[in-house]
């Protein structure tokens, strides 16, 4: 068994948090040791700035659900200690690094964080370090630090992208990739979620042999159709939405998610008998909501409880994801596993996930126009949405199960540890190149 020092996030809630908690819990269930290192305790004597309270996973119910029409609002509690995601209390160690600023997008560590990380690794003596990169200045120091300590270093690189660079958000994310490429070239392995993402990094100078394509994965026993295993929250949701067909968006309310385009289309079409439920929070919530009350648009807010999120996916007939840029959306995979018909843009790897009839793929340009056409069709064709939901679940079972994801991670760890004596600083432009490892479903 391997002892992994996992450097990642526990808050504020985002896809990186879910990825880290799910992966480390699965590794522990298979007998591996996991020491979870994350930014938590603000630097002593300084003011640690975290994401605003309504987006923090560990806030009280009153602050995190203010203004939200949620029948479970009084039950919401601490995200990390509640049922929202797998617990991490059984880890070999839990190390908190001090920070100055922490948000869903980036983290700024305190000046002493690197020293504390080094001392923690020296004390823990793991077999390898796996960094689920948090977009922090500390990310760039990891290769040198791990080389000095003689520790193999694996990264998972999460930033969203659009290989076509078709919009401003995609151009901004491209800058992030350019900024990270030189550093990523010095990691032993870099996990990415799709071949498209790997190609972007390879064009920026990261050697193919350092890239491993391991798609995100979800547990199809947890995220499943209501007919198979209904969530305990489902009966109350059915009462609330009785006589209505639910169209669902679940994710961050920020520019790159392009929720504005979805709302424009919805308000133009106003599909009769349907309700749009928007689950999530973010900096654009106030501007998107605009202070208006709409009977067919429900602003659910941030939802920390996993069983409620499962129920929302189970009751939804259609899941909508209009993003301008993406990595590989876990919310999309959860919807697919739940048997929900999915409509998403081809940003990042989302189009690859739905291609071949597993869902409806839109272009990132002109989303409002495309949805104005699609929404009436989805409203009028329940047989179509049911068929799309079945195809979506089959796709997850074939390619995106969490167990297969963890199998691939274990194989990658074994490969890295077998080559532990290879110099970390080996030139990425050397002639000693081999085909990029495809350790996910692309190479079973």
Query: What is the rounded distance in angstroms from the CA atom of residue 409 to the CA atom of residue 186?
Result: 19
* 433 has a pLDDT exceeding 50: no
Task: Order the strands of the 3-8 sheet from edge to edge.
Answer: 107-109, 93-102, 33-42, 3-8, 128-132, 153-156, 189-192, 211-213
CA 25 to chain centre: 16
Cα atoms in the 13 Å half-sphere on the side-chain side of 144: 7
Res 443: pLDDT: 42
Q: Which pLDDT belongs to residue 92?
A: 62
DSSP code of 208? G
Provide the pLDDT for residue 176: 86
Rounded Cα distance between 257 and 14, Å, is 13
Q: State the pLDDT at residue 359.
A: 98
Residue 76: per-residue pLDDT: 36
pLDDT, residue 15, reads 83
Structure confidence by residue, pLDDT tens digits, 259-279: 999 999 999 999 999 999 999
Mean pLDDT of 381-403: 98
Q: What is the residue whose two structure tokens read 């890295």?
A: 416
Phi/psi of residue 350, nearest 5 degrees: -65, -40
Contact 160, 173 (CB under 8 A): yes
Q: Look-up: residue for tokens 């760039």? A: 140
| CA separation for the pair 116, 218 (Å, rounded) | 33
pLDDT in tens, 235-260: 999 999 999 999 999 999 999 999 99
What contacts 24+ positions apart, CB below 8 Å, involve 229-234? 230/311, 230/314, 231/307, 231/308, 231/310, 231/311, 231/314, 232/307, 232/311, 233/72, 233/305, 233/307, 233/308, 233/310, 233/311, 234/311, 234/314, 234/315
Instruction: Note the pLDDT of residue 164.
Output: 60
Contact call for residues 175 and 135 (beta carbons, < 8 A) = no
pLDDT exceeds cutoff 60 at 434: no
Percentage with pLDDT > 70 across the chain: 80
Tally of CA atoms within 13 A in the half-sphere of 403 that contains its CB: 6
- Of the listed ranges 14-23, 73-82, 206-215, the least confidently predicted one is 73-82
Segment 366-371 shows an average pLDDT of 98
What is the pLDDT at residue 429? Answer: 41
Alpha-carbon 248 to chain mean position = 17
pLDDT band at 419 (very low <50, low <70, confident <90, very high): confident
Using the predicted structure, report yes or no on whether residue 23 has a pLDDT greater than 60. yes
User: Which residue spans within 282-350 are E strands per DSSP?
Assistant: 297-301, 316-321, 341-345
Q: How far apart are CA 124 and CA 221, in angstroms?
A: 34
The percentage of the chain sitting over the pLDDT mark of 90, rounded to a whole number, equals 71
The mean-pLDDT minimum among 175-179, 374-378, 435-439 falls in 435-439
Mean pLDDT value across the chain = 85
Q: 375 or 165: which carries more pLDDT confidence?
A: 375
Tens digit of pLDDT for each residue in 395-412?
Answer: 999 999 999 999 999 999
Lowest mean pLDDT among 58-72, 221-235, 362-376, 430-444: 58-72
Q: What CA–CA distance (Å, rounded) separates 381 from 411?
A: 44
Q: Quick check: 427 pLDDT over 70?
A: no
Higher-scoring residue by pLDDT: 416, 429: 416
| Token couple for 130 | 């796996």
Mean pLDDT of 354-368: 97
Q: How confident is the model at residue 102 (pLDDT cuts 50, 70, 90)?
A: confident
Poorest-pLDDT segment among 145-154, 173-182, 349-358: 173-182
| Mean pLDDT, rounded, for 157-167 | 71
Residue 90 has pLDDT above 80, yes or no: no
| Confidence (pLDDT) at 172 | 63
Average pLDDT in the 294-305 region? 96
Going by C-alpha positions, the residue among 408, 389, 411, 412 that lies closest to residue 399 is 408
Averaged over 93-117, what is the pLDDT?
Answer: 89
Q: Give the pLDDT score at 88.
A: 36
Domains and their CATH numbers in the chain:
3-218+402-418 (3.40.50.2000), 234-399 (3.40.50.2000)
CB 302 within 8 A of CB 64: yes
DSSP 436: P
Joined together, the tokens standing for residue 412 give 């990658």
pLDDT score at 13:
77
* Average confidence (pLDDT) over 77-98: 52
Mean pLDDT for 430-434 is 37
């Amino acid at each position: 068994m391997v002892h992994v020092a996992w450097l990642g996030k526990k808050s504020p809630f985002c896809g990186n948090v879910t990825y880290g908690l799910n992966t480390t819990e699965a590794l522990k269930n298979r007998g591996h040791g996991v020491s979870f290192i994350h930014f938590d305790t603000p630097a002593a004597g300084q003011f640690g700035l975290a994401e605003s309270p309504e987006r923090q996973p560990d806030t009280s119910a009153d602050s995190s659900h203010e203004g939200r029409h949620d029948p479970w609002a009084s039950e919401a509690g601490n995200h990390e200690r509640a049922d929202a995601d797998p617990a991490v209390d059984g880890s070999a160690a839990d190390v908190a690094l001090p920070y100055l600023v922490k948000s869903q997008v980036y983290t700024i560590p305190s000046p002493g964080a690197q020293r504390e990380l080094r001392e923690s690794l020296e004390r823990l003596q793991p077999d390898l370090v796996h960094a689920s990169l948090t977009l922090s200045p500390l990310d760039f120091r990891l290769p040198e630090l791990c080389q000095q300590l003689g520790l193999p270093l694996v990264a998972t690189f999460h930033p969203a992208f659009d290989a076509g660079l078709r919009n401003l958000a995609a151009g901004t994310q491209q800058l992030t990739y350019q900024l990270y490429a030189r550093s990523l070239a010095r990691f032993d392995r870099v996990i990415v979620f799709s071949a498209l993402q790997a190609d972007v990094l390879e064009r920026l100078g990261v050697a193919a042999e350092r890239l491993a394509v391991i798609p995100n994965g979800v547990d199809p026993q947890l995220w499943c159709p209501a007919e198979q295993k209904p969530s305990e929250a489902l009966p109350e949701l059915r009462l609330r939405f009785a006589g209505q067909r639910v169209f669902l968006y679940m994710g961050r309310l920020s520019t790159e998610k392009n929720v504005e385009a979805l709302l424009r289309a919805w308000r133009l079409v106003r599909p009769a008998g349907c309700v749009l439920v928007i689950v999530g929070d973010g900096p654009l919530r106030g501007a998107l909501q605009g202070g208006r009350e709409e009977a067919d648009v429900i602003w659910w807010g941030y939802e920390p409880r996993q069983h409620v999120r499962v129920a929302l996916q189970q009751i939804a007939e259609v899941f909508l994801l209009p993003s301008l840029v993406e990595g590989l959306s876990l919310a999309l995979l959860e919807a697919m596993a739940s048997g929900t018909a999915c409509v998403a843009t081809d940003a990042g790897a989302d189009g690859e996930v739905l291609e071949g009839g597993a869902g409806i793929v839109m272009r990132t340009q002109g989303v409002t126009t495309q949805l104005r056409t699609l929404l009436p069709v989805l409203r009028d064709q329940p047989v179509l949405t049911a068929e799309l939901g079945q195809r979506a679940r089959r796709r997850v079972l074939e390619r995106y199960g969490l167990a297969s994801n963890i199998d691939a991670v274990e194989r990658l760890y074994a490969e890295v540890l077998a080559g532990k004596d290879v110099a970390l600083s080996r030139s990425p432009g050397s002639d000693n190149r081999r085909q990029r490892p495809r350790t996910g479903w692309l190479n079973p």
